[in-house]
Copies of this chain bind each other. A is one copy, B any other.
């Protein structure tokens, strides 16, 4: 619980710590949207946490959708940058390890990100779907499936694989513990922290490379 600053009259505030209001709004919104969902979160709640007036949302972001868009863009930046870096490394081999490591690295540090993406992705009629779909199609699709395709052609991966199905399998097996943590965390007894991230990354790389069956 953040204590609201004692006296905040009208008029232009002192310049110290002023331009951070926008950033506080974005981070409070990421927190609330990812926990409660976009529609169920009120701007009043976000503004309260950011120690700011609800009118500031219109001031900075036009409207509630604009605030969500700012959150989404920030998250996509994180994701695209990490994946691009992981796949662009010149070294051969270990493609699965690099991809899984990069992806889990980002979402282990920012669990709000996959939660917001999934919600946004589920909502059929949101105009922001276009924004996401366009950025995803432009920045991720030319990167990941072709990299998998090359690894398949090179025999690093099984030659009977469908790259598109494989991308979805990898993302799905990485993301579920982070999306479901609010329910499954208490039930299965885990918390999202660096230790869990390391353990789950090792588990996932082994599963993706060799599968689950024993007696190899």
Give A173 Cβ to nearest chain B Cβ, in Å: 4
Q: Which chain B residue shows the least CB distance to A210?
A: B211
Instruction: Give chain A's interface secondary structure class.
Output: helix
Stretch binding the partner chain, chosen from A20-28, A55-63, A80-88, A185-193: A185-193
**Residues of the B chain whose Cβ atoms lie less than 8 Å from the Cβ of A165:** 177, 199-200, 203
Q: Which residues A171-186 have CB closer than 8 A to chain B? A: 171-177, 179-180, 182-184, 186
A-B contact pairs, 30 of them (CB 8 A): A35-B122, A35-B124, A35-B125, A39-B39, A40-B123, A115-B122, A118-B118, A118-B180, A121-B179, A121-B180, A124-B182, A133-B187, A136-B183, A152-B214, A155-B215, A157-B213, A158-B212, A158-B214, A162-B203, A164-B190, A165-B177, A166-B207, A167-B188, A168-B176, A169-B176, A169-B203, A172-B172, A173-B173, A209-B212, A211-B211
